[in-house]
Structure 1
């Protein structure tokens, strides 16, 4: 008998967590950050079962308790094939490698977009040929699945985004667009033809993937030319082509290793990702590799002028030379809600 227990109280009156109904236990655990899930899973089989259940994900979503998690598609010098990694949350961030891609031929340069807890790989190149294939990674269980193939093959530089739960895909060296409805599981034409020169890479430039800002019907991408890097935009409703987003001078390092732009939250915001190399005193050997991300919001002052505002810019993860072999390539990235 504890000091707090009165003589008249029975042990049954002091309910433990183990005696709670499953839905009550689920409601409690849904409020706890995912940072603590690995430790909690070791407490008991019941904890582990609840924390790995689909019901917990649904409950966290309904309670608005989801948290952002970062996924990176990286290629290390010492590895022959790129791999997907999850960046574990918390102060001691680590890269957790995901299971191997289960299908033959992971596409090169696919369009990568995220929605909720899922990451979509769209088109890209397979054996140097444009692909119709679309894959989805469910980050809750870290399993891949296929979607029905697109109507036309789409290579690098396609743009994609979600509007009202539907997936819109534009370009990829095609002037047409299409839309996928998850409810019917079908692709239909999207009646917004695009000039081919808008979706093609410019000769002599390094161009990242293209991001579709659905709310404004504009496209964005980063261009690196002659040591200068800048964010560009294009209005799908006019024929003026690509123009520079103003107000971002000095944001990017020189020379950068850009990877992608994305619009994980929709609206007028996007994320830009890049790799920065910190070198030794001899300016030759790489001492540390940093993966950066910046969130940029748009101020559309006219149909001819767009300004960018940096909401935040920070190092998401840093690795030393011994971890990477000296060089890594950041091929794709995504932010999901879990």
Structure 2
């Protein structure tokens, strides 16, 4: 009897079938791959020849563009109130790359009093929070599909852009600080207010003992990251507290204090990127809490890291860097690839998006769902 049982066990084990992607129809595999962030495509392509072929296929690019359809809205200002909205569009395709241009936004956007205020995007709506140079408690909501601008409920504390951190987590907009620096307003400057997108109401989330301004902030992995000079702080809604997580720059196993200042941040497929005045484009490793340079796949620095006015995520998980030279708007489109704990970039296109007659300022560069 024992011999009989021993013979049955291998038969039951050998009959077990473990399905894999290769056993599925190609159409289903493509739909699965369309859900994988573009940044992981290099790693996926190493699994098998079939997956490598599908990752490079135009069919996958078509499915991703449908699923992740977004437009890059760019707001330029000439003078004080002369504001113009543009959209980044591919203009033509050459043998080596797709050309891009800035075209006037097809939907005319009405003016609103605080063009340069803090902004966050939720779906197809842009939320303008507080004031630009002067504190304001206003909330304005722009529906980019219809072009309608509506005023939302006011915050309890007036806030200015360069003094407040903003982020979106789980259907709520978090605004941290920004109430001013006068001693009598100490409690206001460290207040955390939350706007619930469903109920369209503000509520107080807590008070924080942080007196630094937060020029650069973004939401990553369910937290609001605030990039400051020589350090990075993070606000966790679950813990309801701000804490410093890093002052370090990691390169080749060497860790140093990052003696540099960032003035632009963005998130591409849940990875935080920042442009530093001396170090250029870097990304933040949230597991190790260190900054790392964005290098090419050959391990060398990308040649475009000289200047940046705006950065944003493009519709298929690429990084777009905009900057000005004289009266022209220039752009670099970078594909991102993750391999293990490293992220590297490949320049897909670099060129001039357009020119203007007069000098101008960048106010916003926002990826908005179509």
Q: TM-score, normalised by structure 1?
A: 0.55
* Residue 70 of structure 2 corresponds to residue 72 of structure 1: no
Aligned to 1:85: 86
* Residue 337 of structure 2 corresponds to residue 259 of structure 1: no
Aligned to 1:114: 121
Residue 143 of structure 1, aligned match among 116, 139, 148: 148
What are the superposed Cα offsets for residues 88-133 of structure 1, whole Å, 9 maximum, x if unpaired? Answer: 4563644114535344x2343x2121111111111132xx421111
Pair 186,287 (structure 1): closer, same or farther in 2 beyond 3 Å: closer
Shift of 1:171: 2.5
Pair 316,332 (structure 1): closer, same or farther in 2 beyond 3 Å: farther
Pair 292,146 (structure 1): closer, same or farther in 2 beyond 3 Å: farther
The alignment partner of 1:336 has SS state of strand
Residue 154 of structure 1, aligned match among 131, 134, 159: 159
Structure 1 Cα separation of the partners of residues 196 and 190 of structure 2: 21
Residue 218 of structure 1, aligned match among 221, 225, 233: 225
Aligned to 2:323: 275
CA contact 2:231–2:244 (8 Å) conserved in 1: no
Pair 310,276 (structure 1): closer, same or farther in 2 beyond 3 Å: farther
* Residue 340 of structure 2 corresponds to residue 309 of structure 1: no
Structure 1 Cα separation of the partners of residues 146 and 84 of structure 2: 17
Cα RMSD, aligned residues only? 4.0
Structure 2 Cα separation of the partners of residues 191 and 295 of structure 1: 39
Q: How does 1:137-216 map to 2 (within 5 A)?
A: 137-157=142-162, 158-172=164-178, 174-191=189-206, 193=208, 195-197=210-212, 199-200=213-214, 209-213=216-220, 215-216=222-223
Structure 2 Cα separation of the partners of residues 264 and 192 of structure 1: 36
CA contact 1:213–1:219 (8 Å) conserved in 2: no
Structure 1 Cα separation of the partners of residues 138 and 331 of structure 2: 29
Aligned to 2:233: 234
Shift of 1:153: 1.3
Structure 1 Cα separation of the partners of residues 209 and 350 of structure 2: 35
Aligned residues, how many? 235
Structure 2 Cα separation of the partners of residues 289 and 136 of structure 1: 27
The alignment partner of 1:238 has SS state of strand
Any gaps of 5 or more consecutive residues in structure 1?
1-63, 201-207, 224-230, 278-285, 302-306
Pair 263,152 (structure 1): closer, same or farther in 2 beyond 3 Å: farther
Structure 2 Cα separation of the partners of residues 298 and 151 of structure 1: 42
